[in-house]
Amino acid sequence: DWTTTNVVDEQVELIRNQVGDKQVLCALSGGVDSAVAAALVHKAIGDQLTCVYVDHGLQRAGESEQIEKDFVAAIGIRLEAIDAEEQFLTALAGVTEPEQKRKIVGREFIRTFEATARKVDAERHIEFLVQGTLYPDVVESGGGTGAANIKSHHNVGGLPDDLQFSLIEPLRTLFKDEVRELGLALGLPETMVYRHPFPGPGLSIRIIGEVTRERLDILRAADLIARTELTAAGLDRDIWQFPVVLLADVRSVGVQGDGRTYGHPVVLRPVTSEDAMTADWARLPYDVIERISTRITNEVDEINRVTLDVTSKPPGTIEWE
Ligand code: XMP
């Protein structure tokens, strides 16, 4: 029967048999799936695993540190962290169109990951790539229920033909809540295990307008306040996601102290959902919204107005871009 111990033991055994003495690579995104997959593989084969984290500079406050420090401390994993902020911001300069932002972030990610994979491959000849595919993704792509967690030499997410790995997918029989249980059993920090979903393009699609470092810093400050207050109110698990969106090209007049301000608005977009296909705007308690609003306008100089998005999905999407 299903216990985390059984699943871990079974997977560890499977992975050891598949991998033998070969070397394995895993890309960490900051999300729970890739983290749990990596932790599981690390438990099975230890230092034969190398993890890669591409820091695109579009993460929220503290997220890169969580991967580079907390995760490494908890699991003891070998990590190649790539600081690619400059590269991503240069590629995004002047771009405002949402799909364009997604394409650019995706392209730069693959480029950086590929270069890093080549480097690690040259050092220790990589045979396998770990992916955090879950059961619902397997079903969706017609993969059936097979318990086997390996696919042979598929071309992976845009990597070139001469850089091919066999895939290890240790989560492909599991649902999200099972992955979380496994993560806790493997010693991952709770903040990582219960993290809300966060889009691959990161904060680039939560800045309406051009993405710059200054705007990212403003948004990170506001976002951290919203997340901190949500957690303090004990509401993390009631909310599916809580994007904070910076309307970077909009300014409005305000007054603060003895002065007139002319700052930017942010939008709070807390939603409830089961699967992100549909969503409802979350009825957060007014006192929580008030604390968030007061703190953001007091503590983030460039923001002088906080608004609440009360649109369900459909017709609105969860993200603004
Ligand atoms: P929307 O905005 O379409 O979002 O209601 C549904 C879910 O998907 C996430 N999302 C993305 N995730 N790359 C991702 O990895 C993307 O480009 C992307 N766009 C949206 C969003 O955060 C929500 O959980």
The ligand 1 atom at the shortest distance from the C-alpha of residue 240 is 24
Statement to judge: residues 123 and 103 lie in one domain: yes
Cis omega (within 30 of 0) on the bond before 315? Answer: yes
- Mean pLDDT over 145-172 rounds to 76
Structure tokens at 133: 């595919």
Q: Give me the percent of the chain exceeding a pLDDT of 70.
A: 95
Confidence of residue 155 (pLDDT cuts 50, 70, 90): low
Question: What pLDDT shows up at residue 156?
Answer: 66
Chain mean position to CA 235: 20
Pocket residues: Cβ below 6 A from ligand 1: 102, 197, 199-201, 241, 276, 313, 317-319
Annotated binding-site residue? 130: no
Bridge partners (DSSP) listed for residue 26: 51, 130
The ligand 1 atom at the shortest distance from the C-alpha of residue 241 is 24
Query: Alpha helix locations (H) across 165-300?
Result: 176-185, 190-193, 213-232, 286-299
pLDDT digits (tens, 9 = 90+) for 160-206: 888 889 999 999 999 999 999 999 999 999 989 999 999 999 999 99
Asked if residue 251 has pLDDT above 90, the reply is yes
In a domain, 315, yes or no: no
Statement to judge: residues 223 and 253 lie in one domain: yes
Distance 158 CA to ligand 1 centre (A): 20
Question: What pLDDT shows up at residue 157?
Answer: 67
Confidence of residue 24 (pLDDT cuts 50, 70, 90): very high
Task: Give the span between the Cα atoms of 196 and 12, in whole angstroms.
Answer: 27
- Mean pLDDT over 292-303 rounds to 98
Statement to judge: residues 53 and 155 lie in one domain: yes
**113 touches 141 (CB < 8 A):** no
Domain with 180, as residue range(s), is 4-193
Asked if residue 13 has pLDDT above 60, the reply is yes
User: What ipTM was assigned to the predicted interfaces of this complex?
Assistant: 0.99
**Range of lowest pLDDT (79-83, 164-168, 213-217):** 164-168
Asked if residue 149 has pLDDT above 80, the reply is no
Task: Give the span between the Cα atoms of 32 and 28, in whole angstroms.
Answer: 9
In a domain, 161, yes or no: yes
Chain mean position to CA 267: 20
In a domain, 254, yes or no: yes
Q: Is the dihedral of CA 275, 276, 281, 282 positive or negative?
A: positive
Statement to judge: residues 8 and 131 lie in one domain: yes
Statement to judge: residues 19 and 165 lie in one domain: yes
Asked if residue 143 has pLDDT above 70, the reply is no
Annotated binding-site residue? 33: yes
Task: Give the span between the Cα atoms of 205 and 92, in whole angstroms.
Answer: 11
The ligand 1 atom at the shortest distance from the C-alpha of residue 313 is 5
DSSP run (H or E) holding 65:
helix 63-65
Distance 200 CA to ligand 1 centre (A): 8
Statement to judge: residues 165 and 37 lie in one domain: yes
The 10 Å Cβ neighbour count of residue 301 is 12
Q: Which of 74, 15, 73 is nearest to 40 (CA)?
A: 15
Q: Whole-number mean pLDDT of the chain? A: 94
Q: How far apart are the first and last CA of the chain?
A: 43
Asked if residue 68 has pLDDT above 80, the reply is yes
- Mean pLDDT over 234-259 rounds to 96
Residue nearest to atom 11 of ligand 1 (CA): 199
Annotated binding-site residue? 316: no
- Mean pLDDT over 114-140 rounds to 94
Distance 3 CA to ligand 1 centre (A): 31
Angle among Cα 93, 98, 103 to the nearest 5 degrees reads: 75
Question: What pLDDT shows up at residue 151?
Answer: 66
Question: What pLDDT shows up at residue 153?
Answer: 59
In a domain, 288, yes or no: yes
Distance 103 CA to ligand 1 centre (A): 14
Q: Which CATH number characterizes residue 144's domain?
A: 3.40.50.620
The ligand 1 atom at the shortest distance from the C-alpha of residue 200 is 15
Confidence of residue 279 (pLDDT cuts 50, 70, 90): very high
Structure tokens at 75: 């699991």
- Mean pLDDT over 131-140 rounds to 89
Statement to judge: residues 165 and 27 lie in one domain: yes
- Mean pLDDT over 59-87 rounds to 95
Statement to judge: residues 189 and 287 lie in one domain: no
Examine the fold and report which residue of 193, 228, 249 is the final residue of a domain before the chain moves on.
193
Domain tally, the chain: 2
Annotated binding-site residue? 166: no
In a domain, 43, yes or no: yes
Structure tokens at 223: 């976002």
Annotated binding-site residue? 193: no
Asked if residue 147 has pLDDT above 60, the reply is no
